């Protein structure tokens, strides 16, 4: 690890020096590329330098303790040693996490898909609750949400709603939300007061850039038809709705919210590209998980990940066994406790996997 850290520090110094070169300063693309690389490795270098400084201070404190001369100085050195040992342990953990391979989708915007599952009308209402929860979370973080497509139930719920979420760290903060979300509550239509269980599925898809997913036009079957349901003056009277089928994968995307056929096609292609890339990513993750004889991180959409119990005001994330009794706050977008805990759990799992891989290689 320390050999790698020294190389990263040398690279950091070399980039910093290069960025002062007049030829680089005037070359905008090169300057921006170097600035990004510098920004990416700066946290690692800072943590490593703090670690090295703490180690040096620890050596000095231990030397004072070993001399055993001045009792007052000894006492201070012992106290300092305790603090430094704690700092060194914290910095080591921080550095190991910083050195973990970066998710290639980090920093991307996302496409959020919510679909009503089992539970009929109640599932549709819960899908509306979930969309509001993510919308409120987006507001808290200064993100922008744009609805691409919505299929309403007629009673305030959604059979399906698809939206883009644009903003810093959108993918990294929401990537663990994919899966089945279960609700336990008494529906407004239930006269006997019986608690019903319903479910919705959530999919978080990183937006796919054109260079990442090449879609051959010959692989597409595009149908146009008249929109159905609620709409504006021309939405239901022209063939503006679009259905695109990707023949190799069988993925189908329909879009009808816009009055313009072309706008619906552009939106549908954006969702299609994201779904194709997501399928490839999940297949790759499942293969890696199978090789590790573990199903962690496969992104299985059928996995029940969270339960929202209204009668007890309880929310439970089943992957990390975390239960909070603040349902109202969570549904109002207070999701950071879950996202922070899930991120930490994922980092710890990645560290453990790296240790096991290294041990197998040595064995």
What was the pLDDT predicted at 290? 55
Strand-pair category, 110-116 with 158-166: antiparallel
Domain boundaries, the chain: 2-98, 106-207+302-363, 214-298
Rounded-to-integer distance, Cα 12 and Cα 14, Å: 5
Distances (CA, A) of 31 to 17, 19, 36, 316, 339: 12, 7, 9, 47, 34
Nearest in space to 108 (alpha carbons), one of 198, 188, 174: 174
Residue 291, pLDDT score: 43
Distances (CA, A) of 273 to 203, 246, 312: 14, 10, 41
pLDDT value of position 189:
65
Distance CA 222, CA 215 (A): 13
Q: Which pTM was predicted?
A: 0.67
SS3 306: strand
Closest CA to 319 of 341, 335, 292: 341
The reported pLDDT for the residue numbered 282 is: 77
For residue 302, which of 202, 173, 171, 185 has the smallest C-alpha distance? Answer: 202
Q: Are 95 and 1 in contact (CB under 8 A)?
A: yes
Beta-carbon-side half-sphere exposure of residue 77 (alpha carbons within 13 Å): 17
**Tokens representing 130?**
């979930």
Is the Cα torsion angle 172, 174, 175, 176 positive or negative in sign?
positive
CATH annotation of 106-207+302-363: 3.30.70.1660
Shared fold status for 106-207+302-363 and 214-298: no
Residue 184 main-chain phi, psi, to 5 deg: -125, 110
Q: What is the structure's pLDDT at 332?
A: 97
The reported pLDDT for the residue numbered 354 is 56
Distance spanning both ends of the chain, measured CA to CA: 19
pLDDT value of position 71: 81
Residue-level pLDDT at 224: 87
Question: What is the SS3 assignment for 126?
Answer: helix
> Going by C-beta distance under 8 Å and a sequence separation of 6 or more, which residues neighbour residue 197?
118, 119, 182, 183, 184
DSSP E strands in the chain: the ranges are 110-116, 144-152, 158-166, 179-185, 196-206, 220-225, 241-246, 251-255, 304-309, 314-317, 322-324
Q: Please state which CATH number belongs to domain 214-298.
A: 3.30.160.20
Beta strands in 62-153 (DSSP E): 110-116, 144-152
pLDDT, residue 295, reads 35
Which mean pLDDT values do the consecutive 10-residue runs of the chain (363 residues) have?
A: 83 90 88 87 91 92 83 86 91 83 81 91 93 97 93 88 92 93 85 84 84 79 77 56 91 86 88 87 66 40 85 95 96 95 83 56 48
């Amino acid at each position: 690890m320390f050999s790698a850290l020294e190389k990263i520090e040398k690279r950091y110094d070399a980039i910093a020096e290069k960025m002062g070169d007049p030829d680089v300063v005037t070359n905008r693309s090169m300057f921006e590329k170097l600035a990004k690389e510098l920004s990416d490795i700066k946290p690692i270098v800072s943590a490593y330098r703090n670690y090295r400084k703490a180690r040096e201070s620890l050596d000095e404190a231990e030397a004072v303790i070993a001399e055993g001369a001045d009792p007052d100085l000894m006492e201070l050195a012992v106290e300092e040693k305790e603090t430094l040992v704690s700092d060194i342990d914290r910095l080591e953990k921080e550095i190991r996490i910083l050195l973990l391979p970066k998710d290639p989708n980090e920093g991307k915007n996302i496409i959020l898909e919510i679909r009503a599952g089992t539970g009929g009308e109640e599932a549709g209402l819960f899908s509306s609750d979930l969309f509001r929860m993510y919308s409120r979370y987006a507001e808290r973080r200064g993100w922008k949400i744009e609805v691409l497509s919505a299929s309403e139930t007629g009673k305030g719920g959604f059979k399906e709603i698809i939206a883009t979420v644009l903003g810093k760290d959108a993918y990294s903060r929401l990537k663990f939300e994919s899966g089945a979300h279960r609700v336990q509550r008494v529906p407004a239509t239930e006269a006997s007061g019986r608690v019903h269980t319903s479910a919705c599925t959530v999919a978080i898809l990183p937006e796919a850039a054109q260079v990442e997913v090449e879609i051959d036009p010959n692989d597409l079957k595009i149908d146009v038809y008249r929109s159905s349901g609620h709409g504006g003056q021309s939405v239901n009277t022209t063939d503006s709705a679009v259905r695109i089928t990707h023949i190799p994968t069988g993925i189908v995307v329909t879009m009808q919210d816009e009055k313009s056929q072309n706008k619906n096609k552009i939106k549908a292609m954006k969702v299609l590209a994201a779904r194709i890339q997501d399928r490839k990513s999940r297949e790759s993750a499942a293969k890696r998980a199978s090789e590790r004889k573990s199903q962690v991180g496969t992104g299985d959409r059928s996995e029940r990940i969270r339960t929202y119990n209204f009668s007890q005001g309880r929310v439970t994330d089943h992957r990390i066994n975390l239960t909070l009794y603040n349902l109202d706050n969570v549904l109002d977008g207070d999701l950071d406790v879950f996202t922070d805990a899930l991120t930490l759990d994922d980092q710890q799992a990645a560290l453990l996997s790296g240790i096991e891989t290294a041990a197998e290689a040595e064995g």
